[in-house]
Structure formats: C-alpha cells, structure tokens
Structure 1
C-alpha cells in the first residue's frame, strides 16, 4: 500500500499585489513616453482648472466675509464654494488629463474610482451647505425670531449630513459594482424605526421648516385660528408662541397650527365694515329712496372706500338699509377709529333729516268674541257718540 500526498488547492487565490503594481507602473511609463505631448497639454489645462477653482474659493471666502451678507444668498453660495476640497480639485484635473491623453486601462480604472469618490462626496458637501445656508437665510430674516431654530441647527446639520452622506456612500458603492440592495434595505428599516420613535419631534420640526419656507406668517404678524387671535412672538423648533389680545401667551405645536385655517390679519390689503340701519315704517318712500345716496356721501366724506348701500328688507319693526365700506391697510386701530367716525356721522345726518331710527316695538290688539276690535283703554268723552237731541 502506497501513501500519496495530494496537495489541496486553495479556495481563493491570493492577490499578487507586487505583480499588479509592476503592471500598473509599466503601463503608465509606456503611456507617458508615447503620449507625452497630449499629457503636457492636458496637464496645462488641468493646472488652469486648479488655479481657477482656487480663485473661486477665494471669491467665495470674500462673499462670506462681506459685511451685512452673513446670511444672504451670496453668503450661502460663497460657503458652498469654500467647501470645495483639494482632493476634488486635483481629481478633476487628473480626470481631464487621463480622458484627453487616452490612458491605459489600469490607470483609467484607478482614476475613475478616485474621481467617483471625490465627485460624489463633494456633491454631498455642496448640497449640505446650500440646504443649511438656505435654512439660516430664512431664520435670520428680520421677521423671524430665528434664535430657537438657530440653536437647533446642530440637530438639523446632523440629520442633513447623515442623510446626504448615506446617499453618497450608497452611490459610490453602487458605481464600484457592490450590491447595495441589503445596505439600502437596512438604511430604510433603520430610518423607519427612528422616524416612528421620534415622529412627534420630526413632525413639528418639518412643520417649523414649512413655516419658514412657505411663510404663511412671520414674527410680528397678527393671526387668527379657531377662536384665537394674537401676535406671533416666536417660531421655534417645536412650537409657535402667540401673544393673545388679552395679554396671555399661547403656545401651540407647529404641526397642529399648520393643520388649522390661519387668517393672517397683517397681510390684509383692506378691512371691511358694515352698518345695518333700520328706519321706522312711517318713513315716506321718497325719503327712503334718498337714504343710500346719503350713506354714500357720508362714507366718502370720511375718506373711506364706498362699496355699496341699499335697501335690504322689511324687518319686524323697521325698514332695513345696509352700507358697506373699506379702510385701506391692515391697521385695526385706524379701521376702528374710522368706523366710529362713519357711524356717528350717519346718526347725525339721520337726525338732521328727521329720519327716525326704529327700535323694536310691539302692538297688542284686543278682540271681542265676534272678532271686532276692542279699545285697549276706557273710552274718553271724545270717543263717545254725540248725544241725540231729545
């Protein structure tokens, strides 16, 4: 019986890094010797691009440092430009050289890999700076209280950074041929779990961002919702603070506030007033016909915008007329004073014309069993029939 020793072949062949490096070096050397003119031209163009991008970064830094534009759109763009990193700039120039000069497969593959990493993560950095800069631009407006949201910028920055760089990582791995289905599924499940655990906080946070970008109201605006009215004092990360008309501070979550119908009284272009005037049924018809013109004259004499005036109906104890007029602008104090002046002027004019304003009246009639009317008071001598001559 003979013993034979069979060598087991390895399941995975080891990677010969030295051989690969030698192949890469050899192909690069041949490429440089055969395409040196194209490489020099591409290198010159790449140097120009590097210089231009560095100049753009200096311009962006000046935009950020310019006085009075810390939270302006110029500063937002400047911050994004400043965040352009050197690795991206170099890889952009190298990509141009390799693409123009026709590099061998080994060099092209390596450059494409590095360019993918540099460009994807640089795009994520630019997007992060623009998003955060836009939020700061809105919150720093003179109409917003901004402090609460700016204090929460750390949380917002963390969330935006995690989302953007997670997407960038997935894009890079997918471009490298890695199966990212499991990674995407894991990120999705994790995101759902976090969202369910903090859905109340995220709902109010996104509602605050919706208020900032959609601008249904601003700090200092007078708003009404449900049966509440007041002035907006602050828009925070989770809630909005409103100073009520009686001096109380009302606090409502941003999500609940946006779910309601909001009346922004500060954005009115006018305020409308309406008076209903009832005159007695004893007023002659020709006098009633002149009442709408009287009301129009009174409104225009008080510098208000006349809308309409006319007869509206037969009331229980009055002939009813209505006048509508507008006060320009949203100021309620001016509207209130103007409405008072018009009302008193109407009263004075009706008194001068001897037109009686009706008030609720009721007449009771007494009937006999046969249906005939009975005087509600004893008959006076003048009510008795004249005595007949004897």
Structure 2
C-alpha cells in the first residue's frame, strides 16, 4: 500500500520566474511569426468589438440621462451599463477572438486569467449598481424626502460593496486554483462572531430595509402603536422618531416598532364615531319610529354619513339609542367638530319635538324601627297631614 501526498503550492524563485518569462517571450515570438495573418485579422475584430462595447457603454450613459434621476429604471439600467470598465472591455474583446488567433497555451492561460479577474469584478460592480439603484428608487420619492433612512444609505452601500467584492475575491482565488476552504471557513466564523456581537444593530438595519421596501408607513404618516400615536418625523437606520399628538417626541427602534401592531391612521378612509343617547320612556311611539330619520337628517347637515341609528335596549332610566356615523378622511379634529354639531342639533331637534333625554334617577326605600317600609312619596289613600303636624313628625 502506497501513500500519496498532494504537492503543496509554493512560491517560485527568481530563477524560475525568469525562466518562465523567457519561455513566454520565446513562445510568443514563434506564434507571431507563424500566425501573423490570423493575428492581424483577430486584432481587427478585437478593435471592432472594443469600439462596439464602448458604444454600448455610451448608450448606457445616454439612457441614464433619459430617466428622471434615480427614480427611473431607465437611469438605473443606464448607470449600471455606464459603469463598465475599460479593462473589462479590453479583455472581453481579446477573449472573444483569442481562439481564432491560436495562441500558445501560456498566452491562452494568461488571457483567461486576466479575463476571469475582469469579468468577476465587473459583475460585482454591475450588481452593486443595480442594488443601489433599487434602494435609491425607493428613497428618492417624496415620501422619504429628508428622512434619516435616505441619508443613511452610505452605510448600506458600504456593507453591500464589502460583501459583493469579498465574494468576487473568493471566486477569483478559487478559479486560480487557490484553496479557499480555509478562507471561507474563517469568513464564516468571523461573520457569525460579528453577527452575534452586533445582532441588535443588524436587526434594526434589516428592519429599516423592511420599512424601506414594504412601506408600512412613511414620513408624515399618522400612526398608532402600543397605546401611543403621533406623526412620523424621521425614519433612521436604527430608530424611528415620532411626534406624538400631545407634543413630545417618541424614539423607538425599528425592530421593536415592526414587532408591534401598527395602525396607519393616514390611510384611514373615514373616521367612525359612536354616540349613545337615551330617550325617555314617556316618548310617544310615533316619535320613536321617526327618530332614525331625524338623526340621519341632522348628521347629513353636520357633514357626516349615517352608518347606524337603531335602538340598543331598555335601560334603567331610558330607551337606549345608538348612533354611528362616518366622516370622510383621517382628520380626527374635524370628526370631533362634526360630532359636536350633531349633539347640538339633537338637542335642538328634541326640544322642538318635545322628546326628553332623561337623566339617571334612583329611588331609595327605608324602614322604620318597627320594620315598616317608609314610602318615599305620600300615600294617596290617606289624607295629607297639616303642615304643623308634618313639621312635628319630622322632628
């Protein structure tokens, strides 16, 4: 049984590098002497491809100017194309025609090596520009104008750039034959350690991106959460600032805010108000039947829309009546003003119709020392006592 060991890569000495350079120069000279016509044709095609790719790059610049800033997908695509590097264009032109020229293996390997580096990093640049464009497409709207989240894009760009170019570097090293297993493992362990140490920061960062793309609320929206309500002032990378309706500024982390039940009051189609009222039992049935129509007319005159006007039940002192009405829009003070008009209108209408709104009453029964009930009102079957007797009896 024989043991085979894999040769470890080692650095070449100066003499070995000089020998390889001499071999490369000698093979190139022989190749040029034997294939000069193919080389000339390939060079002409490469020059044409080079200028064609430059024309595409210039078209990308014009497409970028055609769009309306970063808010247009035309400008995003054009900006990505315009970021094409000259080194990539050169190596792409040479790589496309290298097979026709028939270069020696060492020259072919060199071309593939340089083209791989150019292609991988160029792909990272294109992807970075598309991601940046997608983010700026969201933050460039009026909803995020002046928000802290839009101004924090520099940090997001830095993180995206580091991740993309780290992946590109690993891919290049892998294509060059370098064992990147240890490097990937080290990056993974380091990433886990950093993630555990800064999990709160990353949680708020991803929550900020969720707010950015999902848009549960925007700057200027009125929201309610966890018993608090106010107007969104700024959406930052770590927290959101809200100006409450009673004046103070509320600061809450993005993750905690998204974990709560959010009510976007700005998106509310209408404001519904419930108003209970009691009607005296002595009210004639005809007027009780006409009561919903009266309420509807009063609500429409006040600027609202009737949703419900019906009897709720028999209360202790009155027949309970419930009114529910809607006011278009999300302006709560306006809805309160409509409610005030409705209440005053009901008072006027009830006074005109002779409908009484009773106040709660309570009758108390007491007992004398001998256990007899003392009635709270005089007994009609007995004659009334003279005033002096009443006074004497009360003493």
Q: What is the aligned partner in structure 2 of residue 4 from structure 1? A: none
Aligned to 1:269: 269
Match of 2:26 among 22, 43, 56: 22
Rounded Cα–Cα distance in structure 1 between residues aligned with 2:208 and 2:243: 18
Q: Give the 3 Å change call, closer, same or farther, for CA 28–336 of structure 1 in structure 2.
A: farther
Provide the secondary structure at the position in 1 that maps to 2:69: coil
The 1:300/1:283 distance shift into structure 2, 3 A limit, reads same
Is 1:55 the equivalent of 2:35?
no
Q: How does 1:323-338 map to 2 (within 5 A)?
A: 323-338=323-338
The answer for the alignment partner of 2:201 in structure 1 is 201
- Partners of 1:28 and 1:104 within 8 A in 2: no
* 1:222 Cα deviation from its structure 2 partner: 1.2
- Deviation of the 1:283 alpha carbon: 2.5
Partner of 1:212: 212
- Once the two structures are TM-superposed, the CA of residue 166 in structure 1 deviates from its matched residue by 0.7
Confirm or deny: 8 A CA contact 1:31 1:104 kept in the other structure: no
Aligned twin of 2:257: 257
1:1-390 equivalences in 2 (<5 Å)? 16-17=19-20, 18-27=22-31, 30-31=34-35, 33=37, 39=42, 42-43=45-46, 45-59=48-62, 62=65, 69=69, 72-98=72-98, 106-144=106-144, 146=146, 148-365=148-365, 375-379=375-379, 383-384=382-383
The answer (yes or no) to whether the contact 1:145–1:234 under 8 Å persists in 2 is no
Alignment check: 8 A CA contact 1:53 1:89 kept: no
Alpha-carbon distance in 2 for matches of 1:170, 1:29: 39
Bigger mean CA offset, 354-363 vs 116-125: 354-363
Q: In 1, distance between residues paired with 2:169 and 2:352?
A: 85
Shift of 1:121: 0.8
**Deviation at 1:327?**
1.2
Kept in 2, the 8 Å contact 1:269–1:329? The answer is yes
Question: Which of 147-156 and 350-359 deviates more?
Answer: 147-156
What does the per-residue CA deviation read over 1:120-160, in whole Å, with 9 as the maximum and x for residues that have no partner? 21111122223233334433433225463455344322211
SS in 2 for 1:242: strand
Q: What do the CA deviations read for 1:1-49 (whole angstroms, capped 9, x no partner)?
A: xxxxxxxxxx989574133443355446545545865x36743651452
Q: Does the CA-based 8 Å contact 2:274-2:325 persist in structure 1?
A: yes
> Which digits, 9 at most, give the CA deviation of each residue in 1:167-188, with x for residues without a partner?
1112223333433222211111
Change (3 A) 1:103 1:77: same
The range that moved more, 264-273 or 74-83, is: 74-83
> Is residue 24–residue 106 contact of structure 2 (8 Å, CA) maintained in 1?
no
| 2:392 corresponding residue in structure 1 | none
